[in-house]
Amino acid sequence: MVRNTQKFSRLRSLGIVTAGASVLFMGLTAYNNQDNLCGAFVMPFVRMLPAETSHNLAVWACKYRLYPASDHTDDLNLHSSFFGRLVSNPIGIAAGFDKNAEAIMGLKDLGFGFIEVGSVTPLAQSGNPKPRVFRLVDDRAIINRYGFNSDGHQVVMQRLKDLRKREDFNAVVGVNLGRNRDTMTPIGDYVKGVFAFGPVADYLVINVSSPNTKGLRDMQGKKELTELLEAVNAARAKLKTNQNVPILLKLSPDLELRELIDIVSVINNKKCRIDGLIVSNTTISRDNISDVSLANETGGLSGEPLRERSTRLIAQVYSLTKGSIPIIGVGGVASGADAFEKIEAGASFVQIYTALVYEGPDLVERIKCDLSLRISELGLPNVGNAVGSNYLKYLP
């Protein structure tokens, strides 16, 4: 009886995924040339599936490159120097979409300037029990408590190695590092990450800001962060190749000003050098939410309700660091105007995730076109000239 029920449940899941994939594929093929086809046709269907199923489906579609590749050529005014690499635009996909580096080529097809995979943990782990992802549709938001489900270093590292051997590989790829839930050596987990991915990544991210692993965000404290950043710097110095791989630190949007001041004092210490900051991860606050039924779900909130909070933090960080460290701005970006706000507040680059769930992959091109238009209307030669141009406006 139990086996029959399990079998039925598995068949049902398979049916949903297969039907979903077929409709997704047919929709993408049939409407290839229509503007915002995904927003109008495919995305409403995909949103009828449970959130995690549609996430898996989207990763699968990217993995097999089912989304039509964008034939858009990025305007010259979006070309940017990204930690020493030239990228044709400053818009990236944030960590958490392609956790296991399966979908990089498909994401590149969508027109992203850079791709961040992960978070990856040293050992494979399954994360928190399901359900663990919730769509707050009216709020254009998501709450997730995945809890670092990861294929682990070995598997993800092999995928990246294989990818780099391909002749058509041309993406800029960052690897976001996490730690195992039950690790006895939290700092050691990040050191392992530097050794594993330093040689195969264009940048590394130290993620101590996800709210779904107990004690993780405490590693942003002054003493803990100093030890952590000293250790990852020492590990980087021991790399046999790619010894200058940029290391970025991803921050929580729930930090208070005094905590932020501590963090800036740590990263100003030479031994704790980092090359950039990612601002920000998801929030545990529940400000600006209308969907009260889901607001009580534990986890990190992303999307529109996070937008202002993360922009404020970008401006604070920009102000405290006097613009000396490049910032990747992330949180609730759903349009060119939102991306421009992050840039004016101090971000040199912008990432998106949640809005993609609601708008579909055409969003990438729309953001780029709008951003480029804004830059030229302002008479600026390049998007870089707008970085931090209005940060005072966003300071609390």
Q: In terms of CB distance, is 356 or 387 closer to ligand FMN?
A: 356
Q: Does 383 bind ligand FMN (CB under 6 A)?
A: no
Token reading at 229: 């950043």
Whether the CB-CB separation of 304 and 233 falls below 8 Å is answered with no
C-alpha 289/C-alpha 285 separation (Å) is: 10
Query: Does 281 contact ligand FMN by CB under 6 A?
Result: yes
Question: Considering only residues 282, 311, 316, 372, which one is a binding residue for ligand FMN as defined by CB under 6 A?
Answer: 282
**177 φ, ψ (degrees, to nearest 5):** -100, 135
The least CB distance from residue 83 to ligand FMN, in Å, is 17
- Distance between first and last Cα of the chain: 60
Residues near 267 by beta carbon (within 8 Å), at least 6 away in sequence: 229, 249, 273, 274, 277, 321, 325
Choose, by CB under 6 A, the member of 95, 196, 267, 274 that binds ligand FMN. 95
How many residues sit in the footprint of ligand FMN (CB under 6 A)?
A: 27
Stated as kind and residue range, the H or E segment containing 195 is helix 186-197
C-alpha distances (whole Å) from 365 to each of 89, 169, 336 are 10, 21, 10
Q: Does 207 bind ligand FMN (CB under 6 A)?
A: yes
Q: Which of 88, 119, 209, 210 is catalytic?
A: 210
According to the binding rule CB under 6 A, does residue 331 interact with ligand FMN?
yes
Pairing of strands 300-303, 114-120: unpaired
Smallest gap from Cβ 252 to ligand FMN, in A, equals 10
Identify which of residues 77 and 108 has a Cβ nearer to ligand FMN in the complex.
108
Q: Which of 333, 350, 364, 386 binds ligand FMN (CB under 6 A)?
A: 333
Residues 141-180 that bind ligand FMN (CB under 6 A): 142, 144, 146, 176
Backbone dihedral region of 111: left (phi > 0), alpha (psi from -120 to 50 degrees) or beta? Answer: left
Strand 91-93 vs strand 114-120: parallel, antiparallel, or unpaired?
parallel
Rounded to a whole number of angstroms, the minimum distance from the CB of residue 376 to ligand FMN is: 25
Preceding omega of 131 cis (within 30 degrees of 0): yes
**Sole binder of ligand FMN in the list 28, 175, 247, 306 (CB under 6 A):** 306
Asked if 119 touches ligand FMN (CB under 6 A), the answer is: yes
- Least Å from the CB of residue 353 to ligand FMN: 3
Stretch that binds ligand FMN, among 18-26, 106-114, 316-324, 327-335 (CB under 6 A): 327-335
Residue nearest to ligand FMN (CB): 96
Query: Does 210 qualify as catalytic in the annotation?
Result: yes
Burial string for 330-369 (b: 16+ CB within 10 Å, else e) reads: bbbbbbbebbbbbbbbbbbbbbbbbbbbbbbbbbbbbbbe
Interaction site with ligand FMN (CB under 6 A): 94-96, 99, 118-119, 133, 142, 144, 146, 176, 207, 210, 250, 281-282, 302-303, 306, 330-333, 352-355
Which residues participate in catalysis according to the annotation? 210
